[in-house]
Amino acid sequence: MRIIRFSSPSGERIGVWMNEKVIDITEAFESPLRSILDLASKANEAGKSIDDLLTDILEQKSGHLPVYLYKKIERGEDNLRLLIPIVPPEVWGCGVTYRRSREARERETNVKSVYDLVYNAARPEIFFKATAHRCVGPGEEIYLRGDSKRNIPEAELAFILGFNQEILGFTAGNDVSSRDIESENPLYLPQAKIFDRCCALGPSILTINEAGKEPKLRVECRVFRSGKIVFEGTTSTAEMKRSIEELKSYLCRYNTIPPGSVCLTGTGIIPPDEFSLIDGDIVEITIEKIGSLRNPVKQLKPII
C-alpha cells in the first residue's frame, strides 16, 4: 500500500493512495491516526502486517471514509496539501553506494583514495544527515547554504524504521549537498550535508509488503529553471552496490535509532561538474510507485 500525510480544513490526515484516489483513514480506528507509526503499533497489536490491517479496515469501512483525488491534494486545491510523510526524529545518509557517486567524488576531490576505499569496503559510509526541523515535505522550500557555490540535489530511495528497527516502508529523499564544501575536504562532510532545510522527503510511503525487502525501482531527477529542464538524470536502485539489509544492519549496530527515523540510501544520479542549483529552481525527484517529490530552491544570503 501507499500511505500519505496531508492536511485538509479538518487538520492533519493519513490517507491510503490507491490509483488516482486517496482514502482518508484518519478516523478509521478508535483513536485518530497521526502517523505510520500509529499504524505500525495497531498492526503489531493485531499481529498483522500494516497491509493486512489496512486491507481489513478498507473492506469493513471504505464506503464510510472520505475520499479525495490525489491530484487535488498534490496541487493544493480545495485547501488540501501534501505533508512530509513522516516527521523523522533522525535522518541518516549512506554514501558512495553507486559507482557513479564514487567516480564523481574521486574526480572532484584531492583525497583520491577515500571514496574508492569506502565503495569497496565491507563497512558502508553512513553519516548523520538531519533532524525533523531540518526536513521539509513536498512543495516546501529547500535551502542552499550562503557559503557554498556548488549545490546539487541527490535523489535517493529512503527507508523508514519502526519500533524494533524493522523497515516499515520507503519514500523518496533529496540529500541536498554543498559539493564544493565536501570536495574541499572530506572532513567538512557534516557542513556539506547538515543545514537548515537540507533534506526533503515524500510524497508517499510505499509499505515494505508492497515494495519488497530489496526494491528495484526507477529513480528520476529533474531540475526546472524558468519552466525549462536544466538537468535530468535517471538510475535504478538495482544499480546500488549494497543491499538495503546491509545498510540497515550497519546503521543499527550499537546505535539505537528512534522509531520513525529515515535513512537515505545514496545517490546514483550525479549532475555535471559545472552544474549548481540556484535560487528559484524546482527539483523534482520521482521514484517508481512512490511518486514525485517537488521542492522549490532558496539560496540563503552569505553572512558578511
- The H helix count followed by the E strand count for the chain is 9, 19
Give the DSSP H or E segment for 191: helix 189-193
Query: What is the smallest separation between the CB atom of 187 and Mg ion, expressed in angstroms?
Result: 17
Q: How many residues of this chain bind Mg ion (CB under 5 A)?
A: 3
Single out the residue of 73, 96, 176, 277 in contact with ligand DO4 (rule: CB under 6 A). 96
Q: Single out the segment in contact with ligand DO4 by CB under 6 A; choices: 7-15, 70-78, 97-105, 222-230.
A: 97-105
Among residues 122, 148, 262, the alpha carbon closest in space to that of 200 is found at 262
Q: Single out the segment in contact with ligand DO4 by CB under 6 A; choices: 56-64, 91-99, 219-227, 292-300.
A: 91-99
Whole-angstrom CA distances from 282 to 90, 124, 135, 278 are 25, 31, 17, 9
Single out the residue of 15, 88, 95, 260 in contact with ligand DO4 (rule: CB under 6 A). 95
Whole-angstrom CA distances from 188 to 85, 148, 180, 200, 221 are 30, 12, 10, 21, 25
Work out the angle between the directed axes of helices 99-108 and 113-120 (0-180°, nearest 10): 160
Query: What is the smallest separation between the CB atom of 201 and ligand DO4, expressed in angstroms?
Result: 15
CA distance 59 to 64: 11
Q: Single out the segment in contact with Mg ion by CB under 5 A; choices: 11-19, 123-131, 152-160, 278-286.
A: 152-160
Query: What is the smallest separation between the CB atom of 89 and ligand DO4, expressed in angstroms?
Result: 20
Contact positions with Mg ion (CB under 5 A) in 172-191 = 175
* Choice between 154 and 281, CB closer to Mg ion: 154
Single out the residue of 35, 151, 265, 267 in contact with Mg ion (rule: CB under 5 A). 267
C-alpha of 83 from chain center? 13
Backbone angles phi, psi at 119, to 5 degrees: -65, -35
Task: Decide if residue 235 touches ligand DO4 (CB under 6 A).
Answer: no
Query: What is the smallest separation between the CB atom of 264 and ligand DO4, expressed in angstroms?
Result: 7
SS3 content of the chain, % helix, strand, coil (to 5): 30, 35, 35
Residues that bind ligand DO4 (CB under 6 A): 93, 95-97, 101, 105, 125, 154, 175, 189, 266-267
